[in-house]
Structure 1
Amino acid sequence: MYKPLIYLISTFVLISCTSDKQQADFIVTNANIYTVDDALPKAQAFAIKDGLFIGVGSSKEINNLFTSKEILNLKGKTIVPGLIDGHCHFNDLGFFMQQVDLTGTNSLDEVVNRVLAFQKEKNLNFITGYGWDQNDWETKQLPTKDQLDLHFPETPVVLSRIDDHAFLVNQAALNLAGINSQTSVSGGEIVKNKGQITGVLIDNAKDMVKKIMPKAGINHSVKALKDAESHCLKLGLTTVSDAGLQKETIDLIDSLQKNDELKIKVYAMVSVSPENLDYYLKKGITKTDRLHVRSFKIYADGALGSRGAALKQPYSDREGHFGAMVTSLEDLDQIANTIAKSDFQMNTHAIGDSANAYILKTYARVLKSQTNRRWRIEHAQVIDPDDFDYFTEIIPSVQPTHATSDMYWAEDRLGPERIKGAYAYKTLLEINGRIVLGTDFPVEKVNPMYTFYAAVARQDLTGYPEEGFQINNGLSREETLKGMTIWAAYANFEEKEKGSIEKNKLADFVILDQDIMEVPIEEVPNIKINGTYINGEKVYSSTKLF
Structure 2
Amino acid sequence: MRFSIAPLLASLLFLILFSCHYQHMDADLIIHNATIYTMDAARTKAEAMAIKDGVVLATGPEREILNRYSAPEKIDARKQPVYPGFIDAHCHFLYYGQSLREAELMGSSSMEEVIERLQNATPGRGGWLLGRGWDQNEWEDKNFPTSALLDAAFPDVPVYITRVDGHAAVVNKKALELAGIDSSREVEGGKIETANGIPTGLLIDRAMELVQAVIPPFTDEDIEAAVKLAQDRCFAAGITSVADAGLPASMIRKLHALDESGVLKMHIYQMLSPDDEAESWMQNGHFESEHIVVRSLKLFSDGALGSRGAAMIEPYSDDPGNYGLILNPASYYQKWAGRCTEYNYQLVTHAIGDSANREVLGWYAHELGGTNDKRWRIEHAQVVHPNDIEKFGQYSIIPSMQPTHATSDMFWAVDRLGERIGDSYRLETLRQQLGMVPLGTDFPIEGIDPLQTFFAAVFRTTPDGRPEGGFQMEDALSREHTLMGMTMWAAIANFEENRRGSLEPGKMADVVILNRDLMTASAFDFKNIEVQMTLVKGEKVYQAY
Work out whether residues 316 and 412 of structure 1, in 8 Å CA contact, stay in contact via their aligned partners in 2: yes
Aligned to 2:335: 334
Work out whether residues 24 and 70 of structure 2, in 8 Å CA contact, stay in contact via their aligned partners in 1: yes
Aligned to 2:374: 373
- Aligned-pair distance for 1:12? 5.9
Distance 1:18 1:541 in 2: 36
Work out whether residues 453 and 525 of structure 1, in 8 Å CA contact, stay in contact via their aligned partners in 2: no
Aligned to 2:38: 35
Work out whether residues 428 and 435 of structure 1, in 8 Å CA contact, stay in contact via their aligned partners in 2: yes
- With 514-523 and 461-470 compared, the bigger mean Cα shift is at 514-523
Aligned to 1:517: 519
Aligned to 1:224: 226
Aligned to 1:404: 407
Aligned to 1:300: 301
Distance 1:360 1:287 in 2: 29
Within a 5 Å distance, the mapping from 1:451-466 to structure 2 comes to 451-466=453-468
- Cα deviations across residues 385-423 of structure 1 (Å, max 9, x unaligned)? 00000111100001100000000110100112x111100
Aligned to 2:98: 95
- After TM superposition, the score normalised by the length of structure 2 is 0.95
- Aligned-pair distance for 1:280? 1.8
- Aligned-pair distance for 1:13? 3.7
- Aligned-pair distance for 1:2? 12
Which residue of 74, 78, 96 maps to 1:75? 78
- Aligned-pair distance for 1:254? 2.1
- Residue 435 of structure 2 aligns to which amino acid in structure 1? G
- After TM superposition, the score normalised by the length of structure 1 is 0.95
SS, match of residue 490 in structure 2:
helix
Tell whether 2:111 aligns with 1:108.
Answer: yes
Distance 1:2 1:424 in 2: 80
Which residue of 43, 47, 59 maps to 2:50? 47
Aligned to 1:85: 88
- Cα deviations across residues 301-348 of structure 1 (Å, max 9, x unaligned)? 000000000000000000111001112211111111221222110000
For the structure 1 residues 52 and 445, does the alpha-carbon distance in structure 2 shift closer, same or farther, using more than 3 Å as the test?
A: same
Within a 5 Å distance, the mapping from 1:399-478 to structure 2 comes to 399-416=402-419, 418-478=420-480
For the structure 1 residues 256 and 19, does the alpha-carbon distance in structure 2 shift closer, same or farther, using more than 3 Å as the test?
A: farther
Within a 5 Å distance, the mapping from 1:89-238 to structure 2 comes to 89-119=92-122, 125-238=127-240
Work out whether residues 48 and 536 of structure 1, in 8 Å CA contact, stay in contact via their aligned partners in 2: yes
Aligned to 1:309: 310
For the structure 1 residues 381 and 263, does the alpha-carbon distance in structure 2 shift closer, same or farther, using more than 3 Å as the test?
A: same
- Cα deviations across residues 411-440 of structure 1 (Å, max 9, x unaligned)? 100112x11110000000011211010011
Paired residues in the alignment total: 539
Within a 5 Å distance, the mapping from 1:245-284 to structure 2 comes to 245-276=247-278, 278-284=279-285
Which residue of 16, 20, 33 maps to 2:23? 20
- Cα deviations across residues 220-250 of structure 1 (Å, max 9, x unaligned)? 1110111111111100000011001122322
- With 486-495 and 518-527 compared, the bigger mean Cα shift is at 518-527
- Residue 95 of structure 1 aligns to which amino acid in structure 2? Q
SS, match of residue 82 in structure 2:
strand
- Aligned-pair distance for 1:259? 2.6
Distance 1:348 1:147 in 2: 36
SS, match of residue 350 in structure 2:
strand
- Aligned-pair distance for 1:64? 2.7
SS, match of residue 267 in structure 1:
strand
Distance 2:95 2:199 in 1: 28
Distance 2:488 2:251 in 1: 27
The CA RMSD measured in Å over matched residues stands at: 2.0
Aligned to 1:348: 349
- Aligned-pair distance for 1:465? 0.5
Work out whether residues 461 and 470 of structure 2, in 8 Å CA contact, stay in contact via their aligned partners in 1: yes
Tell whether 2:48 aligns with 1:61.
Answer: no
Distance 1:357 1:138 in 2: 34
Work out whether residues 189 and 201 of structure 1, in 8 Å CA contact, stay in contact via their aligned partners in 2: yes
- Cα deviations across residues 60-92 of structure 1 (Å, max 9, x unaligned)? 221232222222222201100010000000000
What are structure 1's unaligned runs of at least 5 residues?
none
Distance 2:318 2:528 in 1: 36
Distance 1:422 1:532 in 2: 34
Work out whether residues 311 and 355 of structure 2, in 8 Å CA contact, stay in contact via their aligned partners in 1: yes
Distance 2:13 2:117 in 1: 74
Work out whether residues 22 and 67 of structure 2, in 8 Å CA contact, stay in contact via their aligned partners in 1: no
For the structure 1 residues 525 and 486, does the alpha-carbon distance in structure 2 shift closer, same or farther, using more than 3 Å as the test?
A: farther
Tell whether 2:494 aligns with 1:492.
Answer: yes
Distance 2:139 2:425 in 1: 23
For the structure 1 residues 18 and 263, does the alpha-carbon distance in structure 2 shift closer, same or farther, using more than 3 Å as the test?
A: farther
For the structure 1 residues 329 and 122, does the alpha-carbon distance in structure 2 shift closer, same or farther, using more than 3 Å as the test?
A: closer
For the structure 1 residues 134 and 287, does the alpha-carbon distance in structure 2 shift closer, same or farther, using more than 3 Å as the test?
A: same
SS, match of residue 502 in structure 1:
coil
Work out whether residues 450 and 525 of structure 1, in 8 Å CA contact, stay in contact via their aligned partners in 2: no
Work out whether residues 509 and 538 of structure 2, in 8 Å CA contact, stay in contact via their aligned partners in 1: yes
- With 177-186 and 64-73 compared, the bigger mean Cα shift is at 64-73
Work out whether residues 449 and 525 of structure 1, in 8 Å CA contact, stay in contact via their aligned partners in 2: no
Distance 2:337 2:126 in 1: 42
Tell whether 2:504 aligns with 1:502.
Answer: yes
SS, match of residue 326 in structure 2:
coil
- Residue 115 of structure 2 aligns to which amino acid in structure 1? V
Distance 2:74 2:125 in 1: 52
- Aligned-pair distance for 1:16? 3.0
Fraction of identical pairs, as percent: 43
SS, match of residue 354 in structure 1:
helix
- With 247-256 and 264-273 compared, the bigger mean Cα shift is at 247-256
Work out whether residues 241 and 268 of structure 1, in 8 Å CA contact, stay in contact via their aligned partners in 2: yes
Distance 1:504 1:190 in 2: 53
- With 224-233 and 57-66 compared, the bigger mean Cα shift is at 57-66
SS, match of residue 130 in structure 2:
strand
Moved over 6 A (4+): 121-124
- Aligned-pair distance for 1:519? 1.1
SS, match of residue 121 in structure 2:
helix
